[in-house]
Chain A
Amino acid sequence: MGLLHHTGRVVADYCTGAGYAILLMLRAARHIDGSFRKIPEIAGHLYVYGIRTFPVTAVMGIFFGAILALQTGIELDKFGQVEAIGMVVSAAMCREMGPFITGLVLTATVGSNMAAEIGTMRVSEEIDALEIMAIDPVRFLVMPRLLALVLVCPILTILVDFLGVTGGMFVSVAQLGVAGEVYREQALEVLRYSSTIFDLPKDVYTGLAKSFVFGLTIGTVGLSAGMRAEGGALGVGRAVRRAVINSLLLIIILGYYMTWICYR
């Protein structure tokens, strides 16, 4: 009975949290028309979320591309297909790994930061103060942050895609003996095979669609965890943990379903 009761409470808590997060996202979307008044603030968030996180995202992208090339190249070499390595790295980075790595880094840096910042404001009554001043915290705090993250995520994904493919090229040329020109041609060729929208290959635009969804997810989960924080510093810590865990789970689950929808 105790276990059943506990499970019920956990499920109810998750459902409440999910409902709150969805409503928060919709309420933020309603204020999107006021974003012009918030351009300086949004630009500030873009700088923090984009420029500040770029070094770590870039390093992750380069080395992930390098690892992918090395691991796959060794196996391809056994079948005499090592020259196809550019194709493999390019497709994997654009379809899956670029958005996933970006989502991972933004969860760890921006999502946790949002939960901590907004959570601290919640427990120190700053959000109550905004409400009493008749200032909607969703318009004032949530919308600019969410919009900035949704814009940053696809931009970072494109950079990670490029850096990952470049990292793969270094390894392919230096360690697998593939000619740079061959690698480049193969990497582009795989993108040419797929259908396009506005000249964007399918592998790229599905990756960008994923990164848009990931940005929205990380922002919504982080901000809603912060808004629901209670109980002082401990509560803020719990909010950060909840934000990171839920974002990671949602990224991997949503990533799978988006791949299934786009490529089945």
Chain B
Amino acid sequence: MIRLVKVCKRLGGQNILRELTLHVERGEVFAIMGGSGTGKSVTLKHMVGLLEPDRGEVWIDGANLAVLNRAQLKGLRRRFGYLFQSGALINWLNVGDNVALPLREHTRLGRTDIQQRVAERLRWVRLIGDEHKMPAEISGGMKKRVGLARAIVLNPDIVLYDEPTSGLDPVTARAIRALIREVNDRLEATSVMVTHDILDATDTADRIGFLFDGRIEFVGTPAEVERTDNARVKNFLKGLDDQTSVAEAVPS
């Protein structure tokens, strides 16, 4: 469904992605884990064509993004939902209008149908009754849930999540994780999530990829991650840097 082949990207004088190769299967939830500033969000932005690779290819459902024209890319993007780290809500539109925006722009649905669809999606994210609140009046967790409702309002084939639980309290984070799984199953979508929280990955993902030094170093199911002998993965999960071995850092 999503294939990145030897993608290289240089930003701000630094090599962020170095021949990153990744394959996400249709219908799965794939988590990309890695430390801050390792290029997780950059990887996600390549998938939706917000960034173009310096070298390498990005394939979505058999289409190479590099050869698509503006109209084709626009058409492809309608199949995506994207949850930004901050929610990225349009600040002068209320919650209901934010969720309704893709419907108003891309469908011929009438006012009543739009209201029904918006109410349904807000019910999915447990925000029913908050339609008239402005983004400035709601908490960070609520913004993410509104962002999620907006991302899935057009029934996308692919949903991308950028740090869906960062900065949230444990209860809200758990609710968001449950929502991601639920949304993926209800819409029969393919989901990719970038996170540095192992709970996000193990609770939600079918497979987890670990991003180190601009490339995916290990991919496995949560069970395989738990059993892995990969030192870098083990160090990362224990909160150690690459130079410190597990044996040195963990007291016997």
Is there contact, CB below 8 Å, between B106 and A126? Answer: no
Instruction: Point out the residue from B48, B74, B75, B84 that lies within 8 Å of A125, measured CB to CB.
Output: B84
B18 at the A interface (CB under 8 A): no
Q: How far does the alpha carbon of A129 sit from the alpha carbon of B101 in the complex, in Å? A: 11
Is there contact, CB below 8 Å, between A134 and B78? Answer: yes
Instruction: Point out the residue from B75, B91, B105 that lies within 8 Å of A133, measured CB to CB.
Output: B105
Q: Which residue of B lies closest to A135 (CB)?
A: B105
Q: Inside 8 A of B74's CB, which chain A residues have their CB?
A: 134, 136
- C-beta contact mask, B64-94 vs A, less than 8 Å → 1, else 0? 0000000000110110101011101111000
Q: How far does the alpha carbon of A136 sit from the alpha carbon of B71 in the complex, in Å? A: 11
Nearest 4 Cβ contacts at the A-B interface: A129-B88, A125-B88, A134-B77, A132-B82
Is there contact, CB below 8 Å, between A125 and B86? Answer: yes
Is there contact, CB below 8 Å, between B75 and A126? Answer: no
Is there contact, CB below 8 Å, between B84 and A131? Answer: no
Instruction: Point out the residue from B80, B88, B91, B105 that lies within 8 Å of A128, measured CB to CB.
Output: B88
Number of interface residues of B (CB under 8 A): 21
B249 at the A interface (CB under 8 A): no
Instruction: Point out the residue from A128, A134, A140 that lies within 8 Å of B50, measured CB to CB.
Output: A128
CB-CB under 8 A for A129 and B84, given A134-B74, A134-B75:
yes
Is there contact, CB below 8 Å, between B101 and A133? Answer: yes
Is there contact, CB below 8 Å, between A132 and B48? Answer: yes
Q: Which residue of B lies closest to A140 (CB)?
A: B105
Is there contact, CB below 8 Å, between B101 and A135? Answer: yes
Q: Inside 8 A of B78's CB, which chain A residues have their CB?
A: 134
- Least CB distance from B77 to A in Å reads 4
- Least CB distance from A107 to B in Å reads 23
